[in-house]
Chains A and B, each alone.
Chain A
Amino acid sequence: MALRPPVSEHDHAAGPTDARLTLVEYGDYQCPHCAAADPVVRSVQKAFGNELRFVFRNFPLAEMHPAAEPAAEFAEGAAVQGKFWEAHDAIFAYSRRHGPPSLGPDAFASIATALKLDAQKLEADVASHHYLERIKNDFNGGVRSGVNGTPSFFINGKRFDGPATVEALTEALRDALSE
């Protein structure tokens, strides 16, 4: 199963553009498994250093997780203020600490304060669904790539079907390096 569309400059990416490995995650901010996978990804990023580029794409199951889409809109708004990854990590950390159902306007307000974001602008961005189309595009691309749940990972464009653990991801990334 291949990644469609391929990674481009429109994606949120951490790590060098010419890294030999690109790990793409389709995730939902209110999904408990994604919250659990976030530190796993951080640790894999640390281990592979400049050999790895990590890309996050939105896959909010909005009917099941009512705060998933607003959270994605919040992170997109933070991106425009130059703090995508900070907001991304903070949302998952908040969800791990207080539980996924705790995500909502209060959570976003407290994250905005902690990250010194322009909270008023962010709130307006979320309320006006300014970034919703981008989020839906991520979602539709995920569906076309065969994403059937979250988190779903792709390594160099190929679907990773193992568990979201440091060991399994490390092994799969090593295999991709030797290909």
Chain B
Amino acid sequence: MSILAPGTKAPEFSLPSTPDQRVSLSDFRGSLVVLAFYPADWSPVCGDQMALYNEMLGEFRKQKVQLLGISVDGVWCHAAFASDRKLHFPLLADFEPKGAVAKSYGAYREPEGLSERALFLIDSEGVVRWSYLSPIGVNPGADGIFDALDALSGKGG
């Protein structure tokens, strides 16, 4: 399975972000979305990656980008993780049916039952404009996202 390539329509989803809230991709139609799939809450590399993105929220906001984290963990697990790490962006639970959204983006690891560490930049029309599959153990940082945002806004870079 390979991840969705630029130019592909981003598959719609509606997933719980908390026990009583759901987030849909179409909620953000008209703005840019960064979808960050990661394998699991609590594993050290993801912690670092999500912690880094958490520090970048001001910059994302400035560029009118909505950041969404997504893994196969359930909402209660996400709630505990977000509270422990003081994360201020939604973590979506791709929990039931397990990994369905990850599969639709080509970002599911069949044998382990986890999502890949994959990044997607989705434009205001709901089209994937940039995607990146990171080795599962490597925190991909945020430079690729910002380069892609620059390219999208014609800043080059």
Interface size on B, residues (CB 8 A): 18
**In chain A, what residue has the closest Cβ to B145?**
A143
For the complex, give the distance between the alpha carbons of A64 and B54 in Å.
Answer: 9
Interface size on A, residues (CB 8 A): 14
B68 CB-CB contact with A under 8 Å:
no
Is B143 in contact with A143, judged by CB distance below 8 angstroms?
yes
The binding surface of chain B is classed by DSSP as: helix
A140 CB-CB contact with B under 8 Å:
yes
**In chain B, what residue has the closest Cβ to A2?**
B143
Taking Cβ atoms with an 8 Å cutoff, the residues of B that contact A are 48-49, 51-52, 54-56, 59, 85-88, 139-143, 146
Beyond A63-B85, A63-B86, is A146–B51 a contact (Cβ under 8 Å)? no
> Interface 1/0s, chain A 57-91, versus B by CB < 8 A?
00001111000000000000000000000000000
> Interface 1/0s, chain A 132-156, versus B by CB < 8 A?
0000000110011111110000000
Beyond A148-B140, A149-B139, is A64–B146 a contact (Cβ under 8 Å)? no
Is A148 in contact with B59, judged by CB distance below 8 angstroms?
no
CB proximity of A72 to chain B, nearest CB, Å: 13
Is B141 in contact with A143, judged by CB distance below 8 angstroms?
yes
Q: Which of B52, B87, B143 contacts A61 (CB 8 A)?
A: B52
Q: Specify which chain A residues have a CB less than 8 angstroms from the CB of B88 in the assembled complex.
A: 63
